[in-house]
A and B are shown apart, each in its own frame.
Chain A
Amino acid sequence: MIRRAAISREAIVGLTLVGVYLAYTAVFWAYPFFWLAKLSVTQWRFFDDPVFVGARNLVRIVQDPQFLGSLWNVVRFLAFYLPLAFGGSLLVAFGLQQVGRGRAFVALCFLLSNVSSGVALSLVFLKIFSTTGPLNNTLYDAVGIRIPWTNHPTLAMLAIALVVAWKFVGYYGLIVYSGLLTVPKELYDAARLDHAGVWRRLVNITLPMLNPQLMMVLTFAILVSFGLFTEPFLITGGGPADSTVPPQMVIYETAFRRLQPSHAATMSIIISLASYLLVVLARRLFERKVVIA
């Protein structure tokens, strides 16, 4: 009898606490979710009443060259970013394994960029990459050339990818490092007995054993590429000629400059689906179950 009373009191406290969150989430999560769905099938311009238009928004945005261009920009960004992310994170991970006592110091150096301000550092890189900036001055003194980082479509995308990689490589490196710690030493000993060289050991043991961590890096990289906004907005402004416009910036401009929130809502649904599908596809293609037999 007393026991049952205690349980039900516990249940009331639990339900109340969870209820507070559910009420909050109903207003700030579920309601916006409902609006997003509603906007995607109606025509609305902030001040009038929404009018049902069915799939017309979808038809309009798949013909919008800027939106399609921004999706292509995601691919171009990933083409630069993925090699930087994988190369950088492996380098950091092997480095952390190598340094021994100074490990925490090295990790903190690489992580500071990850936790500091994206806004402030975008402005710093805007100066660093500028025609008369320190990077170009150093290059000019060394080899006598200046690189027009933000005036050339491909170079501008490379610049954005470098900045974003600078921000995230430390974090990715820590993920890969945590995977390196779990690789059994015996595997390398056995490989040495078989006279496997450094390269063979890397390709046949280390990389396959790191598959879960590398998949995590790939997933994060895909999510970052679709969520990009601050860096292109502040460093290149999307230019030159829309060559670095990310989807989030097209959504922002469509909603608040061109005042077409219905189109913007449809775009953000498409973008979320696209990033989800790309993550699923990547997992299908590259995820391996590692079994030590």
Chain B
Amino acid sequence: MTPRLRRLLQAKTPGGWVATIGIYALALTWLYPFVWMVAASLKPTAQIYNTALFAGDWTLDNFRFLFATADKLDRPFLQALGISALVTGTVTVSVLITSAFIAYALARLRFPGRKLFNDFLLLQMVIPTAMFILPLFVLVKELGLLNSLSALILPSAMSGWGIFMMSQSFRALPEEYFDAARLDRASLWQTVTRIVVPLNTSIIAIVALFTFTGTWDNFLWPLIAISDAERMPLSVLLATFSKQYGGYAGPVMAGAVLQTLPLALLFLLFRRQFLQGMALSLK
């Protein structure tokens, strides 16, 4: 046994090693549903339930079915993917821009009623959003926006939570940066985009990630607001497809992969900011 290996083995007690291996095993088990989903999406439907996880005839037929054949069943998946991307992108960009500016005002500008506004945001965050779904439907109906993309975008275009989280982080910046900006007669736009944003990428990444995930995977609201398959985002189209054609297990799993993929990629891409931001939000 090499000395290095021996030192490694002695770093923990035998019990410690068992616990470590156990937790790694549990962590990998946690990924099992993802692995099963991807495997099932790549197998013919007839083989999904009766082959081992990594056995079977691998094929891309399920994805081909989703993009080509499902159209004829009045289930336009490619279009739904586009709608999801458009809606989620717009909402995320809108939330980020409005939150950054309003949070800057709340954190760094002196104006009457600032404390009151802060308390109001806290109040809004305490009241559960699920309560608003029905009256929001009434509002969107009155505005004549049912079955339109605006119905999916407008109600989440700004976020009190986003403003609150960013303002908490902006408050911690040293005043010297802003003194310098004032001396240089920096405009509001310059102050926010050149000073505040570059110094707070971690919290902005967190707000972006949560807004993106929440909008992309929103289910109840689009289920109510959109009844026309032509306008459905992927989450709702996939669910209605599964209810009606549950027997097509392969294509359903391929759709599930599509629905999961952007979220998983973003999460892996921004994993460092995410873990940092979690630590921030837990303080």
Contacts and interface: CB of A to CB of B under 8 A. Distances in A.
Interface string A216-234: 0000000100110110011
Given A17-B101, A124-B33, A166-B33, A118 B217 contact: yes
Contacts of B166: none
A35 B22 CA distance: 53
Given A11-B112, A18-B105, A133-B49, A120 B256 contact: yes
B138 A120 contact: no
A269 interface: yes
Interface residues of B, number: 83
A28 B139 contact: yes
B131 A123 contact: no
A54 interface: no
Given A106-B27, A125-B33, A17 B102 contact: yes
Given A13-B105, A18-B105, A36-B132, A124 B138 contact: no
A13 B105 CA distance: 8
Contacts of A127: 40, 48, 249, 252-253
Given A110-B30, A227-B130, A255-B134, A14 B48 contact: no
B98 A21 contact: yes
Interface string B106-135: 100111111001000000100110111111
B48, B130, B249, B264 interface centre (most CB from chain A within 10 Å): B130
B16 interface: yes
Which of the four size classes fits the interface of chain A?
35 or more
B78 interface: no
A137 B264 CA distance: 28
A116 interface: yes
What is the predominant secondary structure among interface residues of chain A facing chain B?
A: helix
A104 B238 contact: no
Contacts of A238: none
A116 B36 contact: no
A31 B260 CA distance: 34
Contact of A15 (B53, B111, B268): B111
Nearest to B223: A252
Given A21-B102, A109-B31, A178-B282, A11 B256 contact: no
B267 to A, nearest CB: 5
B157 interface: yes
Nearest to A95: B23
B30 A32 contact: no
B26 interface: yes
B111, B249, B263 interface centre (most CB from chain A within 10 Å): B111
23 contacts: A15-B113, A21-B158, A22-B117, A25-B124, A25-B158, A25-B160, A28-B154, A34-B135, A39-B134, A95-B26, A98-B16, A98-B20, A108-B275, A117-B217, A119-B219, A120-B260, A124-B33, A124-B256, A127-B252, A230-B220, A252-B220, A255-B134, A272-B128
Task: Please give me the 4 A-B residue pairs with the lowest Cβ-Cβ distance, nearest first.
Answer: A95-B23, A14-B111, A32-B135, A14-B109
